[in-house]
């Protein structure tokens, strides 16, 4: 179903396509653990354009391509002519002549859309200021592993900055039929267009999407509590000011006491201990959080195999 398509946003995927990605990710994970060859992209090449830093995304995409029998090229904007002003539409058409797929991490979401518009090969969004779909698909797989395959009706509470993760969680939870409540300060709400789109998507699955300001209310009875950095990449100058504004939004033991007794805590990483999450809560949930990091590999392999094969 996804063959030849781009993967820019979970909003663009059907409910079945999300399921297809999760099912293949699970299968590829099992194969990799059992040492069974799964060279679904033999001889294929992925170009990975990075205009922002990365640990997990770079290593998991590059290793994933290798495990699928293909290869990956790390393309930093410090080295590409793109970084010196070559237009995206030219870069897209040139790279399409060499590559079988392009992964991009950048600032403005419109850059990814423009790349996809001009590229003849699938384009995968590996984070923009607006969305981080690969991470949220990964998180759905991780929730299935820890909470059971049926995601419908599970309550996720997001506490902190209304950022690219929050936006993608709204789309992911809508497609999965989950109850999603974000608690953010009034001026740091997630994107309004994304929220409206997610509310529309939610009608298909019976999901519920809401954005409030009270972290305690959001976390009440939650099965999954998630947070993310208070200052995303590109907001480094605001970090100190944000520490004060977001202080009431820390995920700590007191807040977690309001969640379901068996609640899990997730974090896409990198984490800033003592800010959005305490050392204690992070370490108590380290098994889930590092499964989540590992699952980037398996989920992205599924996305690449389905779009690039």
Whole-angstrom distance, CA of residue 293 vs CA of residue 289: 6
Site for ligand NVA in 180-239 (CB under 6 A): 228-229, 232-233
Catalytic-labelled residue, pool 56, 296, 298, 300: 296
Tokens representing residue 302 in the block: 């599924």
Least distance (Å) between residue 141 CB and ligand CP: 14
- Of the candidates 56, 228, 298, 300, the residue annotated as catalytic is 228
Q: Token pair for residue 108?
A: 């403005």
Residues in Cβ contact with 77 at an 8 Å cutoff, skipping those fewer than 6 apart: 49, 50, 51, 83
- Verify binding: residue 164, ligand NVA, rule CB under 6 A: yes
User: Residue 163 binds which entry of ligand CP, ligand NVA, none, with Cβ cut-offs from 5 to 8 Å by kind?
Assistant: ligand NVA
Query: Of the residues 6, 58, 135, 191, which is catalytic?
Result: 135
Asked if residue 60 binds ligand NVA (CB under 6 A), the reply is no
> Per rule CB under 6 A, is residue 266 in the interface with ligand NVA?
no
Contact 128, 111 (CB under 8 A): yes
Q: Where do runs of H (alpha helix) occur along 119-163?
A: 133-147
C-alpha 227/C-alpha 281 separation (Å) is: 11
Q: State yes or no: residue 271 binds ligand NVA (CB under 6 A).
A: no
Quick check: is 71 catalytic? no
Stretch that binds ligand NVA, among 68-76, 114-122, 160-168, 183-191 (CB under 6 A): 160-168
CA atoms within 13 A on the CB side of 60: 23
- Within 8 A by CB and 6+ apart from 287, the residues are none
Report the C-alpha gap between 309 and 304 in whole angstroms: 8
H-only helix segments in the chain: 15-34, 56-67, 88-98, 109-118, 133-147, 164-176, 192-205, 215-219, 239-246, 253-256, 279-284, 286-308
Regarding 227 and contact with ligand CP (CB under 6 A), the answer is: no
- Provide the edge-to-edge strand list for the sheet that holds 71-76: 71-76, 45-50, 101-105, 123-125
Cβ closest to ligand NVA, residue 271 vs residue 309: 271
- The answer to the question of residue 245 lying near ligand NVA (CB under 6 A) is no
- Supply the minimum distance, in Å, between the C-beta of residue 170 and ligand CP: 18
In the window 9-68, what residues touch ligand CP (CB under 6 A)? 54-57
Give which of ligand NVA, ligand CP, none residue 55 binds (C-beta under 5 to 8 Å, depending on kind): ligand CP
CB of 206 to ligand NVA, least distance (A): 28
Which one, 78 or 93, has the nearer CB to ligand CP? Answer: 78
228 given a catalytic annotation: yes
Q: Is the separation of the CB atoms in 262 and 223 below 8 Å?
A: yes
Smallest distance from the beta carbon of 248 to ligand NVA, in angstroms? Answer: 19
Chain residues in the site for ligand NVA (CB under 6 A): 127, 132, 163-165, 228-229, 232-233, 268
Contact positions vs ligand CP (CB under 6 A)? 54-57, 127, 135, 268-269
């Amino acid at each position: 179903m996804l063959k030849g398509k781009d993967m820019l946003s979970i909003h663009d995927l059907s409910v079945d396509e999300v399921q297809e990605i999760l099912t293949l990710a699970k299968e590829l994970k099992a194969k990799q653990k059992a040492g069974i060859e799964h060279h679904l992209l033999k001889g294929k090449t992925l170009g990975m354009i990075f205009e922002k830093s990365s640990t997990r995304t770079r290593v998991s995409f590059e290793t994933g391509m290798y495990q699928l029998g293909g290869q990956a090229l790390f393309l930093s904007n410090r080295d590409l002519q793109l970084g010196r002003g070559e237009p995206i539409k030219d870069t897209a058409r040139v790279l399409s002549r060499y590559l079988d797929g392009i992964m991009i991490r950048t600032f403005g979401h419109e850059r990814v859309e423009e790349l996809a518009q001009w590229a003849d090969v699938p384009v995968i969004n590996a984070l923009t200021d607006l969305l981080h779909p690969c991470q949220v698909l990964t998180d759905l797989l991780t929730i299935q592993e820890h909470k059971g395959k049926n995601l419908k009706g599970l309550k996720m509470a997001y506490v902190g900055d209304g950022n690219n993760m929050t936006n993608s969680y709204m789309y992911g939870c809508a497609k999965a039929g989950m109850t999603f409540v974000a608690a953010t300060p009034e001026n740091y709400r997630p994107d309004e267009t994304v929220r409206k789109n997610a509310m529309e998507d939610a009608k298909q699955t019976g999901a519920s999407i809401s954005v409030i300001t009270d972290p305690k209310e959001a976390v009440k009875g939650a099965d999954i509590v998630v947070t993310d950095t208070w200052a995303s990449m590109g907001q480094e100058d605001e970090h100190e000011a944000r520490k004060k504004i977001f202080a009431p939004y820390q995920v700590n033991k007191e807040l977690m006491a309001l969640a379901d007794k068996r609640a899990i805590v997730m974090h896409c990483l990198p984490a800033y201990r003592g800010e959005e999450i305490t050392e204690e809560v992070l370490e108590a949930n380290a098994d889930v959080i590092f499964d989540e990091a590992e699952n980037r590999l398996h989920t992205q392999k599924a996305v690449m195999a389905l779009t690039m094969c």
